[in-house]
Amino acid sequence: MNHSDYPQIRQAGENALLIYLAPVADPQVLAQVQWLSQQLRQQLGSLLQEIIPSYNSVLLVYDFLRLDQSQLELCLADLLAQLPELALRSKQGVSSSKSAADSSGKLIELPCYYSAETGPDLAAVAAQHHLSVNQLIKIHSEQQYQVYAIGFAPGFAYLGWVDERIATVRLTTLRLKVPAGSVAIADRQTAVYPAASPGGWNLLGNCPIPLFDLQKDPPMALSTGDAVRFVPIERAEYLRLGGQL
């Protein structure tokens, strides 16, 4: 994969464009994704029906009755031309109102009860990597993760990247029902299941804080670009916060 071939703009439907900023994702690319999404919202507003940021791309769905694709591409060309300068400023630590680093999200700490009763795969994952359960918990909870994408289910945030020492492939057999709040890993990603659903990730524990609630505004606790850190808690604290066993 050649970074010089990016950014790329691809047609994704009669009124949608997909912009790839890089061949792979990393924190700097994610910051650029967030900056581009923010600039497009400010400059085009209601002319865009949806802006969906992801790992290394932005999906734009626009109102073709009010916005011509050629106009949109001109706007994109102007913004994309600024990315190399933004990347350079970010590397040099130069502050700027237009810096890609300014688009990073908030830091959210999520309590997690790591245990056999909430994380049925906890011991097996630790053994697979020749670690004690406490070592596994320490490695998983000390890492700060970024929200790279929202998908699969409402409020399901893909968090990266898990330390290579505990990266674990998905289960070979899908669970028919994973409890809401389950904290899990698959390969080098980790996540919290916002609702009970089928799933094939390795379960390490459970977070008692709801991450998706239609009665709240916004309904999702996490957004692309946010940072997440898991904080280990004991059983009593888990139950006090509303955790279910």
CATH number at residue 170: 2.40.100.10
CB neighbours of residue 137 within 10 Å: 22
- Residue 223 sits in the same domain as residue 123: yes
Residue 95, pLDDT > 50, answer no
Instruction: Please state, in angstroms and rounded to a whole number, the distance separating the CA atoms of residues 58 and 12.
Output: 11
Instruction: Please state, in angstroms and rounded to a whole number, the distance separating the CA atoms of residues 108 and 123.
Output: 26
Q: Which of 103, 134, 160 is the last residue of a domain?
A: 103
User: Is 131 part of any domain?
Assistant: yes
- Residue 56 sits in the same domain as residue 141: no
Confidence of residue 239 (pLDDT cuts 50, 70, 90): very high
Per the structure block, which two tokens stand in for 182?
Answer: 């389950």
User: Is 219 part of any domain?
Assistant: yes
User: Is 245 part of any domain?
Assistant: no
Task: Show the domain range for 20.
Answer: 3-103
Instruction: Please state, in angstroms and rounded to a whole number, the distance separating the CA atoms of residues 10 and 147.
Output: 24
Q: Which of 121, 123, 116, 114 is CA-nearest to residue 203?
A: 121
User: Is 141 part of any domain?
Assistant: yes
What is the overall mean pLDDT for the chain?
90
233 versus 155: the higher-pLDDT residue is 233
User: Is 217 part of any domain?
Assistant: yes
Instruction: Please state, in angstroms and rounded to a whole number, the distance separating the CA atoms of residues 209 and 67.
Output: 41
Write down the pTM of the prediction: 0.78
Pairing of strands 107-114, 175-178: unpaired
- Residue 139 sits in the same domain as residue 116: yes
- Residue 125 sits in the same domain as residue 139: yes
Judged by DSSP in three states, 169 sits in: coil
Average pLDDT over residues 127-154: 94
Structural domain count, the chain: 2
Q: 133: exposed, middle or buried (C-beta count within 10 Å: 0-12, 13-18, 19+)?
A: middle
